[in-house]
A and B are shown apart, each in its own frame.
Chain A
Amino acid sequence: MREKATTLYLGPQHPGITGNMMVRLKVEGDTVVKAVTEVGYLHRAFEKLAEQRNWLQTFTLMCRFCVPEPDPVEESYARAVETLEGREVPERAKYIRVLVLELARLGSYMLWYGGQAGSLGLYTIGQWSVGDRNYILDLFEELTGGRVYHMYIWPGGVRRDLPAGFEEKVLKTMDYMEQRLKDYEDLMFDNAIFRKRTQGVGIIEPEKAIEHGVVGPPLRGCGIKHDVRIDEPYEVYDKLDFEVPTEDGCDIWARANVRRREMHQSIRIIRQVIDQMPKGEFYNKIPNPQKWRLPQGDAYERTEAIRGEVGMYVASDGTEKPRRVHFRGAAYVHAVTLLEHVLVGENIADVSAIMNSLGTCPPEIER
């Protein structure tokens, strides 16, 4: 007898889903035959609000686009505004920005460790990594005053200079992280369950990857070496020595390995940044924000976040307020058309692991 397809609603409240969204699955037995992403639970109309605020007030909205890793969004916005205006950024600010971005990357990968392992039932890693992420959040708290949202990278530079003794604290935390990463890797990548559940699951064919606009670790997990940090180096990434790891598996295992290796590169970058950081100004002061007019035109700047390329399009009509601020999130592409494509033929139990490996982040889809 032929099995009849059943509809299964995964989310919006489901421990395996990566936020406020839903995937409507059509399943036959255990196999997904159709998947449809449904969003609309989280719309906060930031882009509409931005049209009614001045350029500086808009900056405070920007970090809210993505909860786990807000800094690349701020960075994209700050750089887009600077490009539009032609504003120079002091050298020290560029180094501090890279430091913040890499710390944010490390912190979000810690959260990803928890999500990826938790989606396969390995809860210990998540408890360890989310605990250790607090050491990075402590650094952010000391530097910016905020743990999750920092509102630190703004047009013209950064909001304040590094506090006294901050560099030593960062280096100390990095030493600790490096030693802890080994523990996570032993627990996750030497685990037979993790290996069996991820190898050959959630495959993205390399030829489909570019066509679907895949970016970031999922693209590098297909063996294609593209990273905004090397393709279009921003800030001081062209002066730093780091590698962009790739894997050939095209599956969850490959993407997890790319991320594992990237964490070590982040630590390497942070050490170099601390070593090379010049002294001097950290902020090129903007005029009175109430009267700060940007020239007519538009700009689009991209930054590499843990989910891939995130970008910010800004258009100005020559007044104090933006005409349009439009954010491009990696998850906007990954979690809708790509996810619907990848999930077909997979097992229900693997859906949330695949979502985690693609870096699904609903706040980026609806801003």
Chain B
Amino acid sequence: MEELKKNIVNKITGHFADAAVKAYDGNRVDFTVKKETIPAILFYLKDEMGYNHLSHISCVDWIEEKEFELIFILWSYTDHIKVFVHTRIDRENPVMDNIDMIWRQANTYEREIKEMYGIHFEGLEAPEEFLLEDWQDMPPMRRDFDTEAYARKTFWDRREARADAQDVRETITKRTGEELPDVAKKYTR
């Protein structure tokens, strides 16, 4: 295992000068690269190193640092090692290279990340909406999206959300004008 990990670290750092390595115990290796290197390093890992299973693509919003982090998690069926490829992109102008020609299923992840974080993948072939419908607001998975304000704005005609200290019986009495039965009065606050 350690041999294999050393081998992959040597090969990647030899080929990609900007790849920063972070070591972990067990079967995990992490690389952090510039966003321009992403398609090249993924192609290399898949075609040359046998990391042919794309397990996951995730996105994290580091709003304090004004950056989005994209994480590509690959798995090798022969080496049994997990490789994480991290990259950071500017939050103000989030543009990224599309990688769905390497793995077809990356298309689904990119469509979701595009909607949820507003990251533009150049050349992504998926014009249609994926999860959201007619969404005009800020991409909802961004940290500065205020869920409560959105709910108040969108569902303004619904009754107030259930506050923790609210008594259901009192609310019903107020709404219907009915008198509470004596049995129930005993339990109201």
A contact set with B: CB distance below 8 Å: 36, 39-40, 43, 45, 47-48, 51-52, 210-213, 226, 231-232, 298, 300, 302, 309, 311, 313, 315, 323-324, 326, 328, 332-333, 336-338, 341, 366
Number of CB contacts from chain A to chain B under 8 A: 83
Q: How far is the CA of A48 from the CA of B146 in the complex (A)?
A: 11
**Residues on the B chain within 8 Å of A36, using CB:** 128
Take A211-B103, A232-B27, A366-B131 as given contacts and tell me if A311 and B56 are in contact as well, using a CB distance cutoff of 8 Å: yes
Q: How far is the CA of A39 from the CA of B112 in the complex (A)?
A: 11
**Residues on the B chain within 8 Å of A326, using CB:** 56, 58-59
> Are A210 and B53 neighbours in the complex by a CB distance under 8 Å?
yes
> Are A300 and B84 neighbours in the complex by a CB distance under 8 Å?
yes
B131 to chain A minimum Cβ distance, whole angstroms, is 5
- 29 A-B pairs with CB atoms under 8 Å apart are A36-B128, A39-B130, A40-B131, A40-B132, A40-B133, A43-B131, A45-B147, A211-B104, A212-B103, A212-B105, A213-B53, A213-B105, A231-B80, A232-B82, A300-B82, A302-B55, A309-B55, A311-B55, A313-B71, A315-B69, A324-B59, A324-B60, A326-B56, A326-B58, A336-B107, A336-B108, A337-B108, A338-B105, A341-B104
Residue from B52, B82, B104 with most neighbouring chain A CB atoms (10 Å): B104
Cβ of B90 under 8 Å from chain A: no
**Residues on the A chain within 8 Å of B60, using CB:** 298, 315, 323-324
B136 to chain A minimum Cβ distance, whole angstroms, is 16
**Residues on the B chain within 8 Å of A324, using CB:** 58-61
Count of B residues near A, CB < 8 Å?
Answer: 32
> Are B140 and A45 neighbours in the complex by a CB distance under 8 Å?
yes
Look across to chain B and name the residue whose beta carbon is closest to the beta carbon of A301: B82
What 6 pairs across the A-B complex have the smallest Cβ distances?
A213-B105, A326-B58, A333-B105, A328-B56, A324-B60, A336-B108
B contact set with A: CB distance below 8 Å: 27, 52-56, 58-61, 69, 71, 73, 77, 80, 82, 84, 103-105, 107-108, 128-133, 140-141, 143, 147
**Residues on the A chain within 8 Å of B130, using CB:** 39-40
Q: How far is the CA of A210 from the CA of B104 in the complex (A)?
A: 10
Take A40-B130, A232-B80 as given contacts and tell me if A333 and B108 are in contact as well, using a CB distance cutoff of 8 Å: yes
**Residues on the B chain within 8 Å of A43, using CB:** 131-132
Q: How far is the CA of A338 from the CA of B43 in the complex (A)?
A: 21
A158 to chain B minimum Cβ distance, whole angstroms, is 23
Contact of B73 among A47, A212, A300, A333 (CB under 8 A): A300
Chain A: interface secondary structure? mixed
> Are A300 and B56 neighbours in the complex by a CB distance under 8 Å?
yes
Contact of A48 among B69, B132, B133, B140 (CB under 8 A): B140
Q: How far is the CA of A337 from the CA of B112 in the complex (A)?
A: 13
B170 to chain A minimum Cβ distance, whole angstroms, is 28
Look across to chain A and name the residue whose beta carbon is closest to the beta carbon of B60: A324
> Are B58 and A332 neighbours in the complex by a CB distance under 8 Å?
no
> Are A337 and B105 neighbours in the complex by a CB distance under 8 Å?
yes
Take A226-B77, A313-B73 as given contacts and tell me if A40 and B105 are in contact as well, using a CB distance cutoff of 8 Å: no
> Are A39 and B131 neighbours in the complex by a CB distance under 8 Å?
yes
**Residues on the A chain within 8 Å of B80, using CB:** 231-232
Q: How far is the CA of A213 from the CA of B84 in the complex (A)?
A: 17
Q: How far is the CA of A52 from the CA of B71 in the complex (A)?
A: 22
**Residues on the B chain within 8 Å of A226, using CB:** 77
**Residues on the A chain within 8 Å of B71, using CB:** 298, 313
B1 to chain A minimum Cβ distance, whole angstroms, is 12
Q: How far is the CA of A280 from the CA of B27 in the complex (A)?
A: 29
Q: How far is the CA of A332 from the CA of B140 in the complex (A)?
A: 20
A329 to chain B minimum Cβ distance, whole angstroms, is 10
**Residues on the A chain within 8 Å of B61, using CB:** 324
A204 to chain B minimum Cβ distance, whole angstroms, is 12
A357 to chain B minimum Cβ distance, whole angstroms, is 18
**Residues on the B chain within 8 Å of A40, using CB:** 129-133
> Are B58 and A313 neighbours in the complex by a CB distance under 8 Å?
yes
Take A39-B130, A366-B131 as given contacts and tell me if A300 and B55 are in contact as well, using a CB distance cutoff of 8 Å: yes
> Are B55 and A48 neighbours in the complex by a CB distance under 8 Å?
no
Q: How far is the CA of A337 from the CA of B59 in the complex (A)?
A: 20
> Are A328 and B104 neighbours in the complex by a CB distance under 8 Å?
no
> Are A332 and B108 neighbours in the complex by a CB distance under 8 Å?
yes
**Residues on the A chain within 8 Å of B128, using CB:** 36
Q: How far is the CA of A341 from the CA of B69 in the complex (A)?
A: 30
Take A298-B71, A300-B73, A336-B108 as given contacts and tell me if A213 and B131 are in contact as well, using a CB distance cutoff of 8 Å: no
Q: How far is the CA of A39 from the CA of B61 in the complex (A)?
A: 24
A310 to chain B minimum Cβ distance, whole angstroms, is 10
Q: How far is the CA of A43 from the CA of B131 in the complex (A)?
A: 7
Contact of B141 among A47, A300, A338 (CB under 8 A): A47
**Residues on the A chain within 8 Å of B84, using CB:** 298, 300
Q: How far is the CA of A328 from the CA of B60 in the complex (A)?
A: 15
Q: How far is the CA of A213 from the CA of B56 in the complex (A)?
A: 10
Look across to chain A and name the residue whose beta carbon is closest to the beta carbon of B141: A48
Take A40-B129, A231-B77 as given contacts and tell me if A313 and B104 are in contact as well, using a CB distance cutoff of 8 Å: no
> Are A213 and B54 neighbours in the complex by a CB distance under 8 Å?
yes
> Are B147 and A48 neighbours in the complex by a CB distance under 8 Å?
yes
Look across to chain A and name the residue whose beta carbon is closest to the beta carbon of B142: A48
Q: How far is the CA of A313 from the CA of B56 in the complex (A)?
A: 8
